[in-house]
Amino acid sequence: MTFNPVLDGLKNYEAGKPIELVVREYGISPSDVIKLASNENPRGCSPRVLAAIQQESTRAHLYPDDSMYELKEGLASRFGVGKENVIVGAGSDQVIGFALHAKANPNQGILMAGVTFAMYEIYGKQTGATIFKTPSKMHNLNEFRALLATHKGAIGVLFLCLPNNPLGEGIDTEEIKTFLREVDPNILVVVDGAYQEYAAFKDPAKAINPKAFIEEFPNVLYLGTFSKAYGLGGMRCGYGIGEAGLIHTLHKLRPPFNITTLSLKAAIEALKDEAFVTHCMEENFREMKRYEAEAKALGFDFIESYTNFITLAFSEGKSASTIAQSLLEKGIIIRDLSAYGMNAVRVTIGTPEQNSRFFEIFKRAYC
Amino acid sequence: MTFNPVLDGLKNYEAGKPIELVVREYGISPSDVIKLASNENPRGCSPRVLAAIQQESTRAHLYPDDSMYELKEGLASRFGVGKENVIVGAGSDQVIGFALHAKANPNQGILMAGVTFAMYEIYGKQTGATIFKTPSKMHNLNEFRALLATHKGAIGVLFLCLPNNPLGEGIDTEEIKTFLREVDPNILVVVDGAYQEYAAFKDPAKAINPKAFIEEFPNVLYLGTFSKAYGLGGMRCGYGIGEAGLIHTLHKLRPPFNITTLSLKAAIEALKDEAFVTHCMEENFREMKRYEAEAKALGFDFIESYTNFITLAFSEGKSASTIAQSLLEKGIIIRDLSAYGMNAVRVTIGTPEQNSRFFEIFKRAYC
């Protein structure tokens, strides 16, 4: 059977190794596996949210309220915007998909940092669009400027991952605003704030206020998620915030019932427990200092991180792939960044206990 | 901002009214609302599945096993196919989307029955494809044949909804096979078996064996779901079964982590409790007889149904819209089929108690 030609350029996505696979392949007990590979919140979700999910499970047979009335109210109230400025997705991933299918095409390309969230490119290729990346791996706004000038009229969507996944770097919000004032207003700028709760906690200069952004820049789509700070990665719920006309257009691409009944309830309740999030942020950055100290002690580099993970970069004598594989066989899953052309690994900041175990095994693998 | 032209032809989807909306708009207590509008299983899910969801909720922060190893094993074993013949979607809806984006385009149209599952057309339009429908509302294979002949080479995807939603009619499987033997093998034929558990229970001649189908017809994609018989509509999990090459291609369009961690667990457990499904089937068709008797007693038509719903068709003197609205104000939600050009309503078969309440309120609205 023949298929649409755009599929020829697509590969099947390979996700990070799940706990189940390590259990199967290495015969390690599930309780002994530590997953520091997917930037999940090691504290799980708020106890209040957990109770709500369990209660709502008796309604698992019922489709969710497809208007997502209560969740949109919660998000609108949280960010000081209107319900008409909010769209909900199965993870912010799905909203990325809506944005790309609305705007990108074989003549309208996609611009992003050299190393950034993989889904921008994966969904982007589904539209047949050309992918443009900056030469630098981390966000470099001057390189974005240069590519916009070179490919004037040929770029439809621009991604800024603030702070950036999988590298962790942040940029001051004032610099972003200056840059956005120069961008053609017909380019859709996706500001991916999946880790904004972390950045805002660590450095207010890197905090993004979605309301202020979409008021000044009607071409900005801000993305947030319940997968990281709120500890609901497995529930697949994220959101986009933008100018009402933009959000209305994106809704045309939203499938009905795109999040589960339990996810909807979980997200609604999660917004009511900000104290839980703050507690997680405190622990995250306290523990991150241990990683930084370890890197200094062992003599390798790390990227200053505004997220819940840290990128550890090794010198030539050490192989990131070998280290990651060695840890995997001991039941510790981290992300090898070799596929990004980097001799580095990305490690999610775990609980204090998980991190101690990581250091113990890592030192044996590294030294 | 300008958007891709294909969006001009798209409308925002309006889902059936959720219980929450009836509570808000008519001030009816949630416990007094009866939703017979979305073909959810009124018995909920199996108690075994409910327990599994509640246990798994402590893992809500963890992304699911994206390989879906255990679920694919369960489905492969259930249907006697290989894991490579299975793709999992966020509802079978999502698999419909993959199929259409893989195959349909402005030159490769989509053929379906006059009145059938709305998502075929909604997702179809996203590809820019032309939508062809048979003149008859119910499936009429001779009309499919005629349209295939008239538009030879211009049809890429063909949908057969067996049994059909929202009308409920079924077709004998032997007739379907005879038809499929005549269809160009480069046309992707989607056999939507969302209600197959019901059809197979009521009339074995209408049962479809996916293994036999995909072996004889490598251009068939069979769809199944956990939303109906398994009582997991709110968990958004369905699947496609097809020839390995076709399934491999569809996987290129699958977003990672496309079902939730809890949905994955629920589906795995659901396959282990077929006794629950059989019990639900028995009650469904016992209760459906009450609807048929009521229609005969009150003197209106119904469509013989092989599903968990029944379509009641009224004569000119009665208005389906008025009746549906009148029931809504009393807290009973059903589906008005006026938008399909029919003076009819679709009613999900509820529990015995729900159905008794429906008859009571319906008689007042109808007579």
Residue numbers of B between 116 and 135 with CB closer than 8 Å to A: 119, 123, 126
Q: Is the minimum CB–CB distance between B233 and chain A shorter than 8 Å?
A: yes
Q: pLDDT value at position A12?
A: 79
Question: Which CATH number does A47-273 carry?
Answer: 3.40.640.10
> How many C-alpha atoms does A62 have within 13 Å on its Cβ side?
23
Residue B367 scores a pLDDT above 90: no
One-letter amino acid at A80 equals G
d(CA B253, CA B251): 5
Give the pLDDT of residue B303: 98
On chain B, the residues whose CB falls within 8 A of the CB of A24 are 69
Would the pLDDT of B75 be above 90? yes
Q: Which of A80, A91, A100 is nearest to A224 (CA)?
A: A91
Report d(CA B143, CA B116) in Å as an integer: 15
CB < 8 Å & 24+ apart, contacts of B28-34:
B28/B331, B32/B331, B33/B331, B33/B332, B33/B333, B34/B331, B34/B332, B34/B333, B34/B350, B34/B354, B34/B357, B34/B358
- Across chain A, mean pLDDT equals 96
CB pair distance less than 8 Å for A266 and B60: yes
**Is residue B333's pLDDT more than 90?**
yes
Higher per-residue confidence, A88 vs B9: A88
The pTM (predicted TM-score) of the whole model is 0.97
What torsion, rounded to 10 degrees, do the Cα atoms A208, A210, A214, A215 define? -90
Work out the average pLDDT over A193-217.
Answer: 98
Closest to B233 measured CA to CA, from B270, B202, B208: B270
Q: What is the pLDDT of residue B13?
A: 73
Task: Name the percent of chain A lying above pLDDT 90.
Answer: 93
Q: Residue B306 corresponds to which amino acid? A: Y
Question: Of all residues in chain A, what percent carry a pLDDT higher than 70?
Answer: 99
Instruction: Say yes or no to pLDDT of B288 above 90.
Output: yes
Say whether B253 and A10 touch across the interface (CB within 8 A).
yes
B290-317 per-position pLDDT tens digit: 999 999 999 999 999 999 999 999 999 9
Q: Which of B252, B251, B268, B271 is nearest to B260 (CA)?
A: B268
Q: pLDDT value at position A197?
A: 98
Residue of chain A whose alpha carbon sits nearest to that of B67: A15
B284 Cβ contact partners less than 8 Å away, ≥ 6 residues apart: B198, B308, B349
CB contact under 8 A, A234 and B21: no
Q: Which of B61, B63, B186 sits opposite A44 (nearest CB)?
A: B61
Query: In the prediction, which pLDDT does A266 show?
Result: 98
Distances B160 to A45, B221, B323 between C-alpha atoms, Å: 42, 10, 30
Chain A interface includes B26 (CB < 8 A): no
pLDDT tens sequence across A270-327: 999 999 999 999 999 999 999 999 999 999 999 999 999 999 999 999 999 999 999 9
Q: Does B188 touch chain A (CB under 8 A)?
A: yes
Residue A367 has what pLDDT?
Answer: 86
Kindly list the domain boundaries of chain A, sorted by start residue.
Answer: 5-43+275-366, 47-273
The complex scores an ipTM of 0.97
Give B5-43+275-366's CATH code, choosing from 3.40.50.2000, 3.90.1150.10, 3.40.50.300, 3.30.1520.10: 3.90.1150.10
CB contact under 8 A, B57 and A59: no
pLDDT band at B17; cut points 50, 70, 90: confident
Place A25 in a pLDDT band, splitting at 50, 70 and 90: confident
CB of A352 within 8 Å of any CB in chain B? Answer: no
pLDDT higher than 80, residue A16: no
Residue A268 φ then ψ, to 5°: -60, -45
What the block records as the tokens of B290 is: 């009450």
CB B91 within 8 A of CB B225: yes
Nearest-Å Rg of the Cα atoms of chain A is: 20
Measured between CB atoms, does A8 come within 8 Å of chain B? Answer: no
Q: What is the mean pLDDT of residues B193-217?
A: 98
Query: Rounded mean pLDDT of A55-62?
Result: 98
Whether B102 and A235 lie within 8 Å, measured CB to CB: no
Ordered alpha helix ranges (H), chain A: 19-26, 47-56, 69-79, 92-103, 118-126, 141-150, 173-180, 196-202, 210-216, 244-251, 261-270, 274-298, 320-329, 352-366
Please give the pLDDT value at position B209. 98
Token pair, residue B84, equals 């490579």
pLDDT, one tens digit per residue, over B27-56 is: 899 889 999 999 999 999 999 999 999 999
Q: How far is B367 from chain A (nearest CA, A)?
A: 31
pLDDT digits (tens, 9 = 90+) for B140-191: 999 999 999 999 999 999 999 999 999 999 999 999 999 999 999 999 999 9
User: Which chain A residues are closer than 8 Å to B18 by Cβ?
Assistant: 63-67
Residue B259 has pLDDT above 90, yes or no: yes
Of A30 and A288, more confident: A288
* Predicted confidence band of residue A11 (pLDDT cuts 50, 70, 90): confident
Task: Report the pLDDT averaged over residues B4-21.
Answer: 83
Structure tokens belonging to residue B204: 């074995």
pLDDT value at A144 more than 90: yes
Q: What is the mean pLDDT of residues A80-100?
A: 98
Point out the residue among A4, A42, A104 whose CB comes nearest to the CB of B103. A4
Q: What is the pLDDT of residue B22?
A: 85
Residue A355: band (very low, low, confident or very high) from pLDDT cuts 50, 70, 90:
very high
- The whole-angstrom distance between B206's CA and the closest CA on chain A is 26
Q: Which residues, listed in sequence order, are joined to residue A335 by a DSSP beta bridge? A: A346
**How far is B99 from A3, CA to CA, in rounded Å?**
10
